[in-house]
Each structure stands twice: as C-alpha cells, then as structure tokens.
Amino acid sequence: MANLILDPRDQRFVLYEMLNVEELCKAPLYADFSRDMFDMALNEAEKFAASAIFPALAEGDREGCRLEAGNVFVPKCYHRCMQIYREGGWGTMSVSPETGGQGFPHVISVAAKEWFSHNTAFVNYVSLTEGAAHLVEVYGTEVQKKKYLPKMHASEWGGTMALTEAGAGTDVGNLKTKAIRQPDGTFRLQGTKIFITAGDSDLMENIIHPVLARIEGDPPGTGGISIFLVPKYLINDDGTPGKRNDFTIGSLEEKMGLHGSATCTINLGDNGECCAELLGEERQGMKIMFQMMNGARIGVGIQSLSSASIAYLHALQYAKERLQGSSLMEMKNPAAPRVSIIQHPDVRRMLIWMKAHTEGFRALLYFAALCADRCLATDDEAEKDKYNGFLEVLTPICKAYCSDMGFRVTETAIQVYGGYGYCAEYPVEQFLRDEKIASIYEGTNGIQALDLVGRKLGLKKGMYFMNLLGEMGLTIAKYQPALPDLAPDVQAAMNILAETAMLFAASGKAGKFLIPVANAYPFLMLMGQVVTAWLLLWEAGVAKEKLAAPDGGGADKLFYEGKVATARYFIKHVLPEVDAAAKAIKSEDVSMMEIADEAFAS
C-alpha cells in the first residue's frame, strides 16, 4: 500500500473518470490550468502530508497546547508544518489571482486539503484563517482589504470565527457581547466568547478575529447582530503589528481529542479598550458569518472524509497483517495454519462497509466542490442557479451525514483492531477522538437537519431539491442497462426520499409541524444514504464502462471490479435501511414529544 492517508487511485478516479474535472479548463476562469497542473499540486500535497502533516498527528496530540502569560503555545512540530504550508502557498490555492491567490478550482483545493485534514488539530489554524480572509475579501472595505488580506493570504496572520457564548451557542441570537460606538466610527467590544477554535497560537504574528456582537441600542435576536474585526495586535500605519488589543485568553478547554487545537475562552474589553472595526453593514452579522459557516461545514465534511479514509486504510493494512484463527473452510482442523483476519467474513463485512462510506464521502464532497466551481465558471444564470441549488441542498448532508458516519468508520476501525485498537499503541483511537467533534461544531448535526428540512427543501419552492432528484434520475437511467440489479433499488430509494419530503410538506400545511421537526435528523440520514447510493451507482457505472473496454480494465481491472462490488454492497446491505426510516417517519408517531419530562427518569 503506497500510503495510509488516502487512496490516490480513488482520488484520481473521482476527479477525472467520474467528475471529469479537467473540463473546467475549457472555461475562461480556469483556462490557465490543465490536468498536469492538477496532478502536480496533488502530488505535492501527498508529499507534504507524508513528510510533515501525518508525523505531527500523534506528536501534536501528546504535547497539546499550553497557555502561559496570556499567550497560547501550540505543539512544536506544528511550526514545521506551518512553515511548509506557508512556503507552499497552500492557503491561497482557490483564492482569485486578483487578490493574491493561485486561482485553482475549489475541487482541486478540496482534493489537496484532503491529504492534510486527518490532522485537523493543525489544519484548524490555517482553515479558519482562510475562512476569515474570505469574509474580508467579500465584505471588507478597500482599506480593510489592504490592511489584512496580504498577511492573512500569506498565512502570516491568522483568523478565527468568534460566535459562541455561554447560553448563546446554537441560540446565537441570545448573545450578550456588546459593541459601543465611538465618535470616530470605530467600536469597543465587551463580552466573553467561548469554544473559539484556534483562538490564539504562536504560529502567526497576529490573529484577526471576526466577532459577532450587538451594537448598543440594536434590537434583540439575530436580526440585531453585527460582525466586527478584532485584531490581537492593533495595526500600525506601516502595516506592522502594534500594541496588544484589550482582550485576554481566559482559558483553554481540556478536550477528548484535537489536543493540538487551542479551544479558547476570550474575554473582550475588560478595560473598555477592545478596538473593533465593523465588517460589512450594521445588523448584517449573521448573513456575513453564514458565508463563512457554509464553507466551514464543507470543511467539516472534508475532515470527516479524511478521518474515515485514514482509519479505513489503517484497518485494512492491519487486517492483512494480523494472523488469527484458521480459514473458515478449515475451522474444524486444529492443525490448520493461522490466516490473516481479512479472510474472516465479519472482518470483510466491516472493511467493505468502511470502504463504501469513505468512497461515498469523497464523491459527495468533490461533487459539492465542483458545483461551486461550475457556479463561478459560467455566465449562464440558469446553469449557475442549478449548481448553486445542488450545493445549497447538499451542504447539510456534507456536514452532518459525513461527520456522523465518518465517526462510525473510525469506530469500526477500532473494532477491526480488536483490543489493540482501544490502546494508544495504535493510532485508530486518536482518529476516533479527533473525529467526534465534527458532529458538534459548526452547528450540531441536529441543527443541520433542521436547516435541511426547514429551509433547504423549500428553497425556490422546492425547485432545488427537485432538480437534485432529477440529476440523480439521469444517472440511474444512464446506468440501468449496465447495472440492472442495482439501478432499480436506487430509484426505489429515491422515490421514498421524494415521498417523505412530500409528507413533510403536507404535514406543514396541515399544521402538524412536529412531524417534520421531530423527524428532521432521521430524514437527513435517510437522504444521506440515498445520495451515497446515487454516487456509488455512478462510480460503478463508470467502472462497468472501463471493464467493458477491449482491455477489460487493463491494469486497473481489480480496482474497477472493487468499485462495482462496493456499490453492490452498499445498495443491497445499507440502502434498505431507508425503508425502515421512512416507515418510522410515516407512522407520524411523536412519542419523543409526548413523553413527560419527569417520565424520562424517576
């Protein structure tokens, strides 16, 4: 096995054989690129991951972060990673050349970042910086862009996303941080933010915090929230960092995983001098922050894909090397030789389950990134709207389905290892610890489900959702002749998905709002399974075409056969769960709401 981070053959398959991403190069926006350039970037990403990012994974976990004299110090090994990241320009892969970036398609940037994101603790520092810089690029004044973007794009200055407060996590509108208007048009902030990922570090000479706060006198709720830029060090006229701004790092959270990622409590304005600049317009904070959060939700999907991929590949290698038990065919022969555990049916079941989900995540996230590129690369408003619609509907799936099932993949990897997987001697227990947070931050998965059911299904009067179903139907029809035993199953599951969505719509019109609300999460998981089945069927259809070629798939024959077998396993063994979920939803049972609070336990 070439590496234990991700399968580069599968990555190339999704990019070039399934999604045909080199077609992007025909668009003027990406005309300067080619497949050779894409491959060069991915090869460099692989080298960087193998030489620095992966070796820092366990070391960073052991060392963790420390808070001394108000400053956070990250694991020493991260500094080498940061230097290589900075020198390689990885932070500006998909940033437009007009603002100092390289202009790569987002799908290639996502593919490159997949190589790094297994080490989420390190990647958090750079990914949040890129997200914060994007906000400045889109909403900042020319003065703010000039002041902040060059250093942030160069990964010399960091960035965060400072939303959460005690009592105002999911309920952002309840925040208490206030912004006090100054005569010169600037603001002073007072309040406390908690759970701020990468809230401070010694990796960068300055950190720019986008902070949600309410200007004194503005209305309560989310409609009264604005967003501000709060630098750790105020900026001198010559662009260099000046005096320390009036906020402190109150504490670092002790966490289950991601020990190298500083999760900070930030106390703003204890002395009344926390200087802040308004970003965008007043009372537009949530709109602006959601742009960063949508990108962050895709980022969580990438984290989950990376965690699943590395866990699966480690479990696969272990299963091939670990000798235990005899062959099933010689189970009654005490003298039979020991075989590797990959020969045992239950281990093979776990491995193909992990393979199917991991490859499904990859196809989903790359497809979502390609949709973003298609939006940017066309002037046709109808086409732009089509791909934007796909991205809108799929974003909650990318975040919630991938993170929950990605955690299940890491859990299954531990099961493959048996008792050794539970021990720190092997890396899979860290994969699980680091992945668990993915279902919680950037909006819990329950919130993603409510977003899907309460907002995304109804966008453009349901047109975006129906367009996605139409796209899935085209794939099913295309590969029906080659996969007659699989395509009808996916079509049936897609029909169930559509029927369940219609049930929700009818329930809402009838005033039975509890039915869609109480079943939002089961619906999201149902939809995640249907979407995954669609994508795996697509992959199997492409593989069938390769196998039908005169060379029978050539040197990649086993790879293509594996694609077909993986799709068949998922569609025949996992997809039937859709029927049970739909049956439960259609029962209209809301016992979870009817049970009295006191009846949960005496």
Cα three-residue angle 444-447-451, rounded to 5 degrees:
140
What is the Cα–Cα distance from 312 to 586, expressed in whole angstroms? 35
Query: Phi and psi (nearest 5°) for 187?
Result: -135, 160
Distance between CA 253 and CA 269 in Å, rounded? 21
Rounded to whole angstroms, the Cα distance separating 240 from 124 reads: 24
Region of 182 please: left (phi>0), alpha (psi -120 to 50) or beta: beta
* Distance, CA of 551 to CA of 531 (rounded, Å): 31
**Residue 350 in contact with residue 412, Cβ under 8 Å?**
yes
Helix (H, G, I), strand (E, B) or coil at 449: helix
DSSP designation for 343: G
Tell me, yes or no, if 442 is annotated catalytic: yes
Catalytic residue among 442, 471, 561, 594: 442
Please return the burial class of 527, using the count of CB atoms within 10 Å of its CB with bins 0-12, 13-18 and 19+.
buried
**Where do runs of H (alpha helix) occur along 154-277?**
none
Strand residues in 511-578 grouped as ranges (E): none
What is d(CA 207, CA 230) in angstroms, rounded to the nearest whole number? Answer: 8
In this structure, are residues 118 and 82 in contact, taking their beta carbons and an 8 Å threshold?
no
Measured distance CA(192)–CA(162) in Å, rounded: 10
Joined together, the tokens standing for residue 192 give: 């406390």
Please report the beta strands in 253-407, taking only residues with DSSP state E, as ranges in sequence order: 263-268, 275-278
* Closest listed residue to residue 497, CA positions, set 459, 468, 460, 517: 468
Backbone angles phi, psi at 196, to 5 degrees: -90, 105
| Amino acid (one-letter) located at 56 | A
Residues 6+ apart with CB under 8 A from 547: 553, 557, 560, 561, 564
Distance CA 541, CA 484 (A): 11
Backbone torsions φ then ψ of 265, nearest 5 degrees = -95, 130
Contacts for 469 with CB less than 8 Å, ≥ 6 apart: 494, 497, 498
Nearest to 261 by CA among 155, 132, 127: 127
**Cα–Cα distance between 550 and 564 in angstroms, integer?**
18
What is d(CA 21, CA 94) in angstroms, rounded to the nearest whole number? 15
Q: Among all residues, which ones are annotated catalytic?
A: 442
